[in-house]
Structure 1
């Protein structure tokens, strides 16, 4: 009723209340049994409530909060729900609306850095929120968003680049190198010429190691041999 009358301020707490009534454990046997017998979905009420909350926040010009709900829907929903045409169409439409109005996105509770949204895709939103969280030192949260971006658009090198940044910030250097290698592979195998041209901006880890080895060898050629006593450590 409040939604129809345009009273979004009163609608928001009611929608949040409806969302809290959704079952927390969607895998518990009783719900699974009932779902199999009657064909009922216990995921749908939660999704609908979140969608209504997202649209209401957007209508209230609280677009940054609407984006948070949108990303939460994408991040917590199972693949079957995300593949459904109604949900996919809603996500596409909501994303397009949000990217035209939101000036910043991220975890407001931790003080997000202001940034503009470019790519009109959910993966683009995850990438930009990941960068925002990384700027605030929230490396694990940034990594979670980067992984979602990679999952949604595995052919987008920016997802892997953001993942590399998050892993490096978390001091998980081995995994960061793997993410960097994956980014280079995606760039090299892309059908988009503009993306393939990005390859010239990066040096592969193997090439970096080769250059370092050559530099070390050149230095050793001009250095006198030094014998160190392995027990005392003295020359």
Structure 2
């Protein structure tokens, strides 16, 4: 079946995960700890963040989790602060993150749309943050669908939010490509009956994604060539 739509994850797919979110997380931990090194260490442990290297551990639940899940983790190390307050704080901070695109996004997305493809974003971040970040990057208007974990469709790895994109545009799920950097993204795509493209601009390796990806690309900039059949799959080793 010819592809009719592409649904992108946001963090680690449109925006480089490490370059965007490692520095953000370090600043969030410092803010929440109010400069207390013991509290900062506890917060970092809660979200599997290495303060010495300034990076998330690859197994951090925050990487593919929802904003509410991240807030609950921070709350476990900061129980005196209401979890709802932490969640709202994280949404505000995420909306102002310094975004590092994984490719020249506007021309890439314009080129994909020119092929007649419907484009969407489904992120486990909040819808508020997603809208703010896509607008800040100057690419919001390229998308026909933008959803967060709180948009009413659920969160990945459940297939429901992906199927909502397909249903909104009358697309057979098999005609849609789910593109993401995490196993959550690709498991959701498989469960929805979509084609799955893994990219290596997040913490996951090719080996991590191999069992769930139909193809693994270095980044989304290689999508047009892959659609044209001129880019082979990466070695999954």
The answer to whether TM tops 0.5 is: no
Q: Which has the higher helix share?
A: 1
Which structure: larger Rg? 1
Taking structure 1 as the reference length, what is the TM-score of the superposition? 0.28
Which structure is richer in relative contact order (CA contacts within 8 A, separation 6 or more)? Answer: 2
Q: Which has the higher strand share?
A: 2
